[in-house]
Amino acid sequence: MSGLGTLFAQYNVLGAFWMTVQLTVWGALGALVIGTVVAVCRVSPVGVLQTFGAWFVTILRNTPLTLIVALCSLGISNNLKIHLAPSDSNTFIVDNGFRWAVVALAFYHATFVAEAIRSGINTVPKGQAEAARSIGLGFGPTLRHVVLPQAFRGAIAPLGNTLIALTKNTTVCATVGVAEAAYMMRNMIEFNPSLLYWIFAIMATGFVILTLPMGLLFTWLSNRLAVRR
C-alpha cells in the first residue's frame, strides 16, 4: 500500500476528480440547453431552422472532440483573444481554460442530446400534437406543454448514456492543460513510472465511482418514468 499512499501524498487526487465532476456538471447543463434548442429546430416547420439543426448535428458530431477543445482553447482564446474570464484575475489561465473546455464539451455533446430528444419526440403519437393544435395551441405551446415533457421521459436512457460519455470525455481537456483526472494521470506516469499499476487502479476506480451511479440512476428513472401507451 506504500505506492498508493505515495501517490495520494504527492498528488491532489480528489481535487483532480473534483475538476472532472465540475466539467461534467457544467458541460451537461450546457449540452442539455443547446441540445434542446437544436432538437426543436430539427422538428420545426421552418425550413431554415431544420437545415441549421441538421448541419449543426452533422458537423459537430463528426468532428473529433480533441479538435473542438483545441479550437476553443487555442484558436478562439489564444489567437482571437476572446476570453471567458477577467484577464486581470490571478486565476485567469485556470478559469479561462476551464470555461472554454466546458463550452467545447457542451457544444459537442449537444449534438447527441439533440438526437436523443428528437428520438423522444418521434415516440409521441401525432394525434396528441394534432389534438393540441385543434384547441388553438401553436407550435411552441404544443411542444412545451404536450410534446417535450413526454419526449424527455422517452429519452431518459439515451440522455443517461450521453452523460456517462461526457464524464469520460472530460479526459480530452487534459490536452489543453485543464487539471482534471487525465491531466493528473499524465503527471503521475511521467514522475512515478514504477507505480503504473497503482496509477491505472486509481483512475479506473475513480471513473467507475463517477459513472456507475449514473447508469443505475438513469436505468431506474427510465423504468420509473416510462410513458405507458
CATH number assigned to the domain comprising residue 127:
1.10.3720.10
Asked if residue 229 has pLDDT above 60, the reply is no
* Residue bearing the bigger pLDDT, 40 or 87: 40
Cα–Cα dist 217/127, whole Å = 32
Residue 73 lies in a domain: yes
Cell (9 digits) for 92: 485567469
Q: Which of 23, 36, 26, 65 is nearest to 159 (CA)?
A: 36
Asked if residue 77 has pLDDT above 90, the reply is no
228 — pLDDT class (breaks 50, 70, 90) = low
Share of the chain above pLDDT 90, in %: 34
State the distance between the two ends of the chain, measured CA to CA, in whole angstroms: 55
Question: Which tens digit of pLDDT belongs to each residue from 102-111?
Answer: 999 999 999 9
Residue 229 lies in a domain: no
H or E stretch including 189? helix 181-191
Which ranges of 44-91 does DSSP label H, i.e. alpha helix?
A: 47-61, 65-70
Cα–Cα dist 215/18, whole Å = 19
Residue 207 lies in a domain: yes
Question: Which tens digit of pLDDT belongs to each residue from 155-198?
Answer: 888 999 999 999 999 988 887 777 778 888 888 888 888 888 88
Instruction: Classify the C-alpha dihedral 142-147-149-155 as positive or negative.
Output: negative
Largest alpha-carbon pair distance within the chain?
A: 71
Give how many domains the chain has, as a whole number: 1
Residue 159 lies in a domain: yes
Domain ranges, residue 170: 2-224
Question: Which tens digit of pLDDT belongs to each residue from 101-153?
Answer: 999 999 999 999 999 998 888 877 777 777 777 777 777 777 777 778 888 88
Q: Which of 26, 95, 69, 97 is nearest to 172 (CA)?
A: 69
The reported pTM is 0.88
